[in-house]
Amino acid sequence: MGSTAGPRAGRDGRRAPTLAVVGATGAVGAVMLDLLSTRRDAYGEIRLAASPRSAGRTLRVRGEDTEVAALAPEVFDGADIAMFAVPAAVAAEWAPAAVARGAVAVDGSPAFRTAPDVPLIVPEVNPGLVRDRPRGVLAGPGCTTLSMIVALGALHERYGLRELVVASYQAASGAGREGADTLYAQLEKVGGDRALGHRAGDVRGVVGDLGPFPAPLALNVVPWTGDPGEDGWGSEELSIRDECRKVLGLPELKVSATCVRVPVVTAHSVAVHAVFGERVDQREAQDVLARSPGVVLCDNPEMLEFPTPSDAVGTDPTWAGRVRRSLDDPRALDLFLCGDNLRKGAALNTAQIAELVAADLTP
Amino acid sequence: MGSTAGPRAGRDGRRAPTLAVVGATGAVGAVMLDLLSTRRDAYGEIRLAASPRSAGRTLRVRGEDTEVAALAPEVFDGADIAMFAVPAAVAAEWAPAAVARGAVAVDGSPAFRTAPDVPLIVPEVNPGLVRDRPRGVLAGPGCTTLSMIVALGALHERYGLRELVVASYQAASGAGREGADTLYAQLEKVGGDRALGHRAGDVRGVVGDLGPFPAPLALNVVPWTGDPGEDGWGSEELSIRDECRKVLGLPELKVSATCVRVPVVTAHSVAVHAVFGERVDQREAQDVLARSPGVVLCDNPEMLEFPTPSDAVGTDPTWAGRVRRSLDDPRALDLFLCGDNLRKGAALNTAQIAELVAADLTP
């Protein structure tokens, strides 16, 4: 089984926890290994596992070549923590196997998000919940919720959140590598003809393969992601509501979300109208965001300072800007948020949860 | 002075009104001439005028070559109606000149939108106001308001609108031909490198000229349009609030808008959360929209039917879809709307207003 040299002593001499990374060879897994190699080292042995198809490959972690093992129950023998960067079906099958072998499972997939006995963790918002893991499993929310929840959690702590109206601007890579590749392939097809996009139907006729998207994405926006839910709602729009309620501990929170895919490769954005229990102040809200760990305030439009996906891509924090108090409701704020859907939106949040567990296991 | 053969008898034998088109050589002017040549003919003589720089050119209207006159007071001698497709400063100077010569001025620019004695007209919503023109000037709202107001007007008539939360997805051509050309030039620069958009700052470093936009638009979204207003609001966000209130006759309407430019060439989209005075029903709201002149309902996501800019471009109506009743407020609807910002968003609305005036002048 692949592993880095270990078990070894942690920075304080005590044995540091053993970590298993499941899905190491995927797009999110690659970001995870980068994070494990660059963040403060919390682990002793680190084991990598992936599907049999990808097993046997060698990847670098913490500067050491590490062989990727085929996913099997033995991967979890002696592991203290198992991070999962795999599809929901794989996580649903293997997280319990990791728990059965004594590991705490940290899953970034949707498999356990709605389970009442699985805490949904965003370390900047509800870190204390990592100690309460009745099933031995901890989960993180989806990438669109993660593009805004850290900033909203900070504002909720100050003003008491009551209602959210969210419109998303979601990147192609939220649909995986195939999503990003499809967008680039479509852009190459439409890039040449400058009359395109002026005449009805042209784009639809030219972009070719739609890939994972239900309509052309190049020179277009697509107001439909996920699967059909009830009464015209999309599954991701319903998940944003469920996840915001669970992470913030607000089962009565009013949430209306509209999910829209845009021709951006990486980094999700959201326009948020947030209604609170008390009056808000623009400057104070900006200060709350500027002081919040995991948030960068970029909010001076007169100097052309506002967050865009091209600023957030490849970075860890939530970028916050366009903070305005509603002109017609002194309890409401309108703001615009951006976050990298592959980092905080996936790998980073899972890695942060695992670090909290590691600290909890080595008091 | 350029004109088509006329004055001539209208279809009923009465003298049909004489029309002057100011700004005939611009992007919106070109759409106006196309509309004048394809819609039911309401006019006798049609005169074309433009800046001295463009004067002398010959354009086809109603199948006839028509010379473009240099804008001068004489252009309006004997004109019954003058349509303006020019910048606000030009309209502010020349609309009064047209009125002084006896014409009704119909202006698509922002010059007169907020004037209390100038009706703001959307023919599907408030056609009766064209008869009330104390200054002889009629105006239309901006392209973002026009991408949603026809659908919202129909829903208001049924349910009584109280509040709007709007997030826009605005096309590059909303910033004129330079906007569309800038987007295409940026797309050509970023199209080649598939690693682009995965690494921080890459897009910003590669797109080159920003043109009329405050940040890169290719592979990006830009949450800032218009000019700085008060307290962090953008001028266009404030205009949407003013225009919706004026067109719907709801001076107390609550409106929070966030304006975002997206890498689409033509057709604006908006995600709308609309709160009404009474309970709404999804199916009934869909029926109201399907029955409304100027609206096309495209709303069956399970069959991948929803509106996108590539569907709306080059067409006249507002495309409406994703109609959902809020899960947490039985008086609220969430929906997604698309409209061509160069047609209904500009030339078509002005042409429709002029047609109402023409009918009013020839009872």
| Residues of A with Cβ-Cβ distance to B310 under 8 angstroms | 197, 201-204, 215-216, 219-220
User: With contacts defined as CB-CB under 8 Å, which chain B residues touch A312?
Assistant: 200
Homologous superfamily (CATH) of B19-141+347-361 is: NAD(P)-binding Rossmann-like Domain (3.40.50.720)
pLDDT at A308 over 70: yes
Q: Is B285 part of the contact surface with chain A (CB cutoff 8 Å)?
A: no
DSSP-derived secondary structure letter, A173 = G
| A197/B180 touch (CB, cutoff 8 Å), yes or no | yes
- pLDDT, tens digit, for every residue of A65-86? 999 999 999 999 999 999 999 9
Mean pLDDT for chain B?
93
Contact A198 B313 (CB under 8 A): yes
Position A306 pLDDT exceeds 60: yes
The answer to whether A177 contacts chain B (CB < 8 Å) is no
Contacts of A204 in chain B (CB under 8 A): 310-311
Class of domain B145-171+221-339 as given by CATH: alpha beta
Residues whose CB falls within 8 Å of the CB of residue A124, separated by 6 or more in sequence, listed in order: A150, A153, A154, A292, A293, A294
Nearest residue on chain A to B189, judged by CA atoms?
Answer: A191
- Greater pLDDT, B212 or B15: B212
Give the amino acid at A263. Answer: P
For residue B204, the model assigns a pLDDT of 75
- Which value, in Å, is the radius of gyration of the alpha carbons in chain B? 21
Q: Is the Cα dihedral A110, A115, A121, A122 positive or negative?
A: positive
pLDDT in tens, A128-185: 999 989 999 999 999 999 999 999 999 999 999 999 999 999 999 999 889 999 999 9
Asked if B309 and A202 come within 8 Å (Cβ–Cβ), the reply is no
Partner-chain contact B219 A310, CB within 8 Å: yes
Q: Quick one: chain A helix, strand, coil %, rounded to 5? A: 35, 25, 40
Contact list, A269 vs chain B (CB under 8 Å) = 221, 223, 260
* Catalytic residue numbers of B, as ranges: 143, 268
Beta carbons of A228 and B306 less than 8 Å apart: no
Instruction: Dig out the tokens for A223 from the structure.
Output: 């107001």
Whether A200 has its CB under 8 Å from any CB of chain B: the answer is yes
With an 8 Å Cβ cutoff, is A27 touching chain B? Answer: no
Q: Cite the beta strand spans of chain A per DSSP E.
A: 19-22, 46-50, 58-61, 64-70, 81-84, 104-107, 137-139, 161-169, 254-258, 268-276, 295-297, 318-325, 332-339
pLDDT tens figures, B112-166: 999 999 999 999 999 999 998 999 999 999 999 999 999 999 999 999 999 999 9
Which chain B residue shows the shortest CA-CA distance from A326?
B256
- Interface with chain A: mutation pick from B264, B299, B308, highest number of A CBs within 10 Å: B308
State the pLDDT confidence band at A2, using cuts at 50, 70 and 90. very low
Which residues from B are below 8 Å from A309, CB to CB? 219-221
Put simply, the answer to whether A326 touches B167 (Cβ < 8 Å) is no
End-to-end Cα distance, chain A: 29
Whether the Cβ atoms of residue A46 and residue A66 lie closer than 8 Å to each other: yes
Q: What pLDDT is attached to residue A7?
A: 46
Gap between the Cα atoms of A158 and A331, Å rounded:
12
Closest C-alpha among A351, A319, A358, A362 to residue A32: A351
Taking the C-alpha atoms of residue A303 and residue A309, their distance in angstroms, rounded to an integer, is 18
CA distance B326 to chain A (A): 6
Report residue A5's pLDDT band, with 50, 70 and 90 as the boundaries. Answer: very low
Q: Residue B341: is its pLDDT beyond 90?
A: yes
User: Which has the higher per-residue pLDDT, A193 or B335?
Assistant: B335
Catalytic residue ranges of A: 143, 268
Query: In the prediction, which pLDDT does A13 show?
Result: 59
Q: Which of B220, B232, B310 sits opposite A219 (nearest CB)?
A: B310
Show me where the domains of chain B are located.
19-141+347-361, 145-171+221-339
For B215, which of A201, A282, A308 is closest by C-beta distance?
Answer: A308
Q: What is the pLDDT of residue B304?
A: 93
The whole-model pTM stands at 0.94
Question: Percentage of chain B with pLDDT > 90?
Answer: 86
The reported pLDDT for the residue numbered A12 is 56
pLDDT above 70 as % of chain A: 93
The mean per-residue pLDDT over the stretch B174-201 comes to: 77
pLDDT of residue A188: 85
Name the pLDDT band for B1 (thresholds 50, 70, 90): very low
Identical topology for domains A19-141+347-361 and A145-171+221-339: no
- Distance of alpha carbon B171 from alpha carbon B266, whole angstroms: 5
Mutate to test the interface with B, among A327, A329, A342, A348 (most CBs of B within 10 A): A327
Q: How confident is the model at residue B5 (pLDDT cuts 50, 70, 90)?
A: very low
- Rounded to an integer, the average pLDDT of B227-236 is 96
Q: Do A181 and B173 touch (CB under 8 A)?
A: no
User: Which of A299 and A202 is assigned the larger pLDDT?
Assistant: A299
Q: pLDDT value at position B199?
A: 54
pLDDT at res. A205? 77
Per CB-CB distance under 8 Å, the chain A contacts of B212 are: none
Give the sheet arrangement for strand A268-276, strand by strand.
A254-258, A161-169, A268-276, A332-339, A318-325, A295-297
Of A190, A234, A334, the CB nearest to B256: A334
Mean pLDDT in residue range A192-207: 64
Contact B232 A282 (CB under 8 A): yes
A122: Cβ–Cβ under 8 A, 6 or more apart, which residues? A140, A141, A146, A149, A150, A153, A247, A349
B186's torsion region: left (phi>0), alpha (psi -120 to 50) or beta? alpha
User: What average pLDDT does this structure show over B25-40?
Assistant: 92
Q: What per-residue confidence (pLDDT) applies to B102?
A: 96
Q: In what order do the strands lie in the sheet with A46-50?
A: A58-61, A64-70, A46-50, A19-22, A81-84, A104-107, A137-139
For tokens 């963790």, the residue is: A121
pLDDT at B339 over 90: yes
Pairing of strands B104-107, B81-84: parallel
pLDDT digits (tens, 9 = 90+) for A263-302: 999 999 999 999 999 999 999 999 999 999 999 999 999 9
Query: What is the spatial distance between Cα A26 and Cα A13, in angstroms, rounded to a whole number?
Result: 33
Averaged pLDDT for residues B74-86: 97
pLDDT at residue A104 in the model: 98
Angle between helices B176-190 and A176-190 (to 10 degrees): 120
A256, B334: Cβ pair inside 8 Å?
yes
Query: Quick check: B184 pLDDT over 60?
Result: yes
Structure tokens at A333: 């704020």
Q: What is the pLDDT of residue B72?
A: 97
Write down the mean pLDDT value for chain A. 93
CB contact under 8 A, B273 and A271: no
Counting Cα atoms < 13 Å in the Cβ hemisphere of A182 gives: 22
Quick check: A255 contacting B, CB < 8 Å?
yes
Predicted ipTM of the assembly: 0.94
Closest C-alpha to B50, from B20, B11, B77, B23: B23
State residue B163 phi and psi, 5-degree precision.
-155, 145
In A, residues 180-199, which contact B (CB 8 Å cutoff)? Answer: 180-181, 184, 187-188, 190-191, 194, 196-199
How confident is the model over A36-62, as pLDDT tens digits? 999 999 999 999 999 999 999 999 999
Q: Give the separation between CA B159 and CA B299, rounded to whole angstroms.
A: 20
